[in-house]
Structure 1
């Protein structure tokens, strides 16, 4: 069920990246052997080996000084780690001294006229005014300088129709009303929150003027050099500048100017493609299937009717939560691929820098640097920063595992600079619309599903969550390299990047693996500078966030260790560097998403697809989360706070 609905069963499909590009390290040094990498991984478990060296030893070896920072930032959220919860347990578990409450759940009415949630009386009109399904990215933004008011923004990635409707047996037999209801459950929600005091849990305001639903029917303005391109024109939009809706919105980011970015990820699965159609560009994005039946109620999802419609998805979209009348935008300058999200920092000279991961096996890490600079207090100007700039893709060069370490240097390879394509044979418009194909040609490093990529606001380093890739090193597929060191990688890892001069706009960097995830008893795992016996087991890192003292927080998706997914705090500096502590565990079948570590020490997470199980039905659900008496699992945003 997870594979079918979240990504259109991409793991069962041919690998989309069939390019033969060799990354930079292969060219200059020769491919690291499988035996050498495995030997290096075993070395990670030996005291003093790899990145377990003392900071002074790392500094003496010539590593950049930020990694050797001696300070220990402590904890913003003081808690005792919980034990892993066995997979299938239907409970939401938090540390001693903490409580939790669902802030918003699927179907909660947020717009005027929207009815109360009724599982057996769903309609497209009702869902368009209610909180959507499968919430992923979460942002909590201040409102009017009042600590008792805030805005919550949440993505709604995809739908589980078998769990939404009784008797659902597939899109071929679905009613038009079911298809349209599922469509309306996608998109983004903006909802006002209020609380009675600084220590009270948040609740939502049902009829706030700030509340908004963005759905697949909402008009978006296209920005950037590809706006108006022939590749984006359709019969309904002959100018190629206005797109209806956003799809499969996964993670995101909050900008310094107070807007929210959302990544359109597995959009490929919504389009019906003729069986005899062979199009390399569509195939590179996985647009090769039968769709989800939406073409029956909206012909733009039929590629035979609208061949360019898939090109209008796969973008970073920007929503202004403070202006419910504003038109959301799709930014072509940031490239088109299966965006997990985009997180924005400011470079030393004030330019906006967006980090992005392309969440598929053997795909790439990207960076965008704006042409113009951020201006404090000039929001109208700052709202244009993502419309023009330079686009790069990452190449990770390892230095060999003979030193027992997994690290090296890297480059941000230009795809677009100064408004000009830097990819031979690609026009500027084609680089932006067919970014994957452009990146294939320049030697980018094929990664193990790079998902969230975010810069730590305290230490300035960038963290890349590589969730997993069980096809790494299998027959006919890319083998291991230093940045992706495990064959058949089921548990994932986290890459730490130190950019030259600690400047987000730099085009070179140094990198290392701060975590090689999995069972700590496995000698191929690695947890920074700490003894593996002290850490919480962690598998399949997905979304990342940071607290005010610089600790990394990781939510997981697809735990391969026999436990439910959860949220983990990870120290990345000082003597505790690499110490993983589990903070919470989500219910049966659920994924942990959208962590927010609030200034008051409370934590928000999105509990996505609770009860997602192949055998589950509305009559026999695998979860009853959030345990509200409805008798059905409901994806929800949860706040965890001190009891």
Structure 2
């Protein structure tokens, strides 16, 4: 944990400076890495278009090892019933609930609708294997942490694996750690080194088998199950694709440039049609000490100051100023692919998909079998990308089809988006856009840059071709029913504020954008390999009473929402939105929201749940057909200390009850299932 918090006093409302320091190395306290200001949207947007938008939006458990797999059940937590939202009726359909009102940001509770309860499936430190030690944060131990569920889960999926719906795989990222609330203070350098190694082991990814007694019942994880797996900051990875083996990714530890140890900063992700899981390496820069004058360092936010985590004290590769390690930062910032059905497989980092601060990647297969992945670069004024695989998807479950599909993301074309202000004559869409090629047919499309340079220094390549600077593209997901792509722009308080930076435009309509917005994008002809698209603003977030908000034309009451982050679709193609940062702008706990994308209710946003104090809602999974909603609850009680914890999620006790002797109590990031009461 850094001694200084650059964002202290500079965050919005109650947004935590600790989260800023640990998750993104206090990016907003430093100059924007994108020094490019061209093309500004004003150069391509028509005045008629901007005027039209002005009218639309207005104004600016612990357990012992056993011989066989053990089905673990956690203490069931009573639901805190959310107060019904004023003026809202019950949402009807395949998944019915009464929307809740927003919850004050000082409430340490998981709040769900009346008639629902929540159940933690798995928590930080829970044992995954037969020989996993019991959870004991008073004794930091990397070996133990590598055999326990990791910290700060983000991207999540629950993949049902049997016809009866009683077995599943839980796949989950572990984005970052908070040393101050996880472990006690130390008194010697040796003891602190043990803490640092334990923090490294708490990063990465988990695959965990689940079981349940029947549909519409809570899932429980199975300790010692065959497919259980932990991937950490030291797990071997294969670097594949066109940049693998190039001089840009070679180090003294790996002269071949094809083997990388670990993954870190893993944010969102996606599940592919062939059953693998994708994970985005996002804010990797904060883990390294690097030469800021090295090619690309400044553009990726790398500095020569001590890192946010101090891992360079226990592992030389995190000090890229040391001989032989200059390229180590180039080995992070990729899309990672993991096969959850084969615990002995080597995960891969796909260089063909470009290197930047990946929020995640989500794949669709169009009617022609074309495989396309959509990706956002989560930084102020950075870009929206897509990757189109060279080979077509093969359907079926044969071994040959599986081998073929496992290679789809290793070769293809990489594009970055430019939004323009042209309109169709019928005004059905607000604007159009073009996918600008960076790599096509194995050749660089960027003057003066080789394919390897484009893929390793992708931000520089996108600058050169004139991509549109966006308001932090986070989750980017296609609807598998309509093919429309939803681009979540979480916020950008520098737009129109910092000198030399772009002001508002039609695709990023607000100055000092603290609440964020969502864009709805339609590829030309519905084709994944289309190089043009149409787009509209689906939502401009905030409280409905704030100037500039817009909810797809809906004119009735809506839930207040700020900083949209991860999204998911239910079986009826409603969009579900999780938030990251609501305490900062509307002083409410983060939550999960539902909004229809079509029909008379299009744009009618309602809130389903709220997470505890100082927590973020991550990784929503919607199994509405069996009555389940899942979220990853990240960084509850973030601003606490070891001695003074701010949250006791998820292991709350009755009022007045004292912890048992030797029992530590504090927040444990967890994956939670919400189900209707039986």
Between the aligned partners of 2:93 and 2:318, the Cα distance in structure 1 is: 48
Residue of structure 1 aligned with 2:668, choices 614, 617, 634: 634
Q: Render the CA deviation track for 1:259-296: whole Å, top value 9, x for unaligned.
A: 0000000000000135xx42350110111142121111
Partner of 2:383: 364
- Residue 570 of structure 2 corresponds to residue 547 of structure 1: yes
Between the aligned partners of 1:173 and 1:515, the Cα distance in structure 2 is: 51
Alignment of 1:104-503 (within 5 A): 104-167=122-185, 175-273=192-290, 277-288=292-303, 289-291=305-307, 292-305=309-322, 306-377=325-396, 378-399=401-422, 407-476=430-499, 477-503=501-527
Between the aligned partners of 1:32 and 1:250, the Cα distance in structure 2 is: 38
Residues 208, 451 of structure 1: alpha-carbon distance in 2 compared, 3 angstrom cutoff:
same
Partner of 2:531: 507
How much has 1:504 moved relative to structure 2? 2.3
Partner of 1:562: 587
Partner of 2:77: none
Q: Answer yes or no: is the 8 Å Cα contact 2:44–2:421 preserved in 1.
A: no
How much has 1:39 moved relative to structure 2? 5.6
Q: Render the CA deviation track for 1:533-581: whole Å, top value 9, x for unaligned.
A: 4111111000011001100110000012110000000111011111101
Between the aligned partners of 2:189 and 2:366, the Cα distance in structure 1 is: 50
Q: TM-score, normalised by structure 1?
A: 0.91
How much has 1:27 moved relative to structure 2? 3.7
How much has 1:41 moved relative to structure 2? 2.6
Please provide the CA RMSD for this pair.
2.3
How much has 1:608 moved relative to structure 2? 0.3
How much has 1:32 moved relative to structure 2? 9.1
Q: Could you say what secondary structure the match of 2:437 adopts? A: strand
Q: TM-score, normalised by structure 2?
A: 0.86
How much has 1:631 moved relative to structure 2? 1.5
How much has 1:144 moved relative to structure 2? 4.3
- Residue 654 of structure 2 corresponds to residue 620 of structure 1: no
Q: Answer yes or no: is the 8 Å Cα contact 1:221–1:327 preserved in 2.
A: yes
Q: Answer yes or no: is the 8 Å Cα contact 1:272–1:301 preserved in 2.
A: yes
How much has 1:475 moved relative to structure 2? 3.0
The number of residue pairs the alignment matches comes to: 608
How much has 1:214 moved relative to structure 2? 0.3
Q: Answer yes or no: is the 8 Å Cα contact 1:253–1:261 preserved in 2.
A: yes
Between the aligned partners of 2:275 and 2:352, the Cα distance in structure 1 is: 20
Between the aligned partners of 1:18 and 1:401, the Cα distance in structure 2 is: 33
How much has 1:172 moved relative to structure 2? 8.9
How much has 1:320 moved relative to structure 2? 0.2
Residues 575, 36 of structure 1: alpha-carbon distance in 2 compared, 3 angstrom cutoff:
closer
Q: Answer yes or no: is the 8 Å Cα contact 1:40–1:401 preserved in 2.
A: no
Between the aligned partners of 1:401 and 1:549, the Cα distance in structure 2 is: 29
Q: Higher relative contact order by CA 8 Å / sep ≥ 6: 1 or 2?
A: 1
Q: Render the CA deviation track for 1:131-178: whole Å, top value 9, x for unaligned.
A: 000000001112244411100000000001111112379x99971000
Between the aligned partners of 2:54 and 2:512, the Cα distance in structure 1 is: 12
Partner of 2:99: 81
Partner of 1:527: 551
How much has 1:37 moved relative to structure 2? 6.1
* Larger displacement relative to structure 2 (287-296 or 176-185): 287-296
Partner of 2:659: none
Partner of 1:61: none
Q: Answer yes or no: is the 8 Å Cα contact 1:357–1:453 preserved in 2.
A: yes
Between the aligned partners of 2:268 and 2:539, the Cα distance in structure 1 is: 21
Residues 513, 28 of structure 1: alpha-carbon distance in 2 compared, 3 angstrom cutoff:
closer
How much has 1:113 moved relative to structure 2? 1.4
- Residue 617 of structure 2 corresponds to residue 609 of structure 1: no
User: Unpaired runs of 5+ in structure 2?
Assistant: 1-17, 61-90, 654-663
How much has 1:26 moved relative to structure 2? 3.8
Between the aligned partners of 1:19 and 1:572, the Cα distance in structure 2 is: 35
Residues 395, 619 of structure 1: alpha-carbon distance in 2 compared, 3 angstrom cutoff:
same
Q: Could you say what secondary structure the match of 2:586 adopts? A: coil
Q: Render the CA deviation track for 1:336-380: whole Å, top value 9, x for unaligned.
A: 000000000002221211000000100001000100011112111
Q: Render the CA deviation track for 1:581-603: whole Å, top value 9, x for unaligned.
A: 10000000000000000141201
Between the aligned partners of 2:51 and 2:551, the Cα distance in structure 1 is: 21
Partner of 1:103: 121
Q: Answer yes or no: is the 8 Å Cα contact 2:335–2:350 preserved in 1.
A: yes
Residue of structure 1 aligned with 2:617, choices 570, 592, 595: 592
Q: Render the CA deviation track for 1:425-475: whole Å, top value 9, x for unaligned.
A: 110000100000000011111110100000011222100110001111013
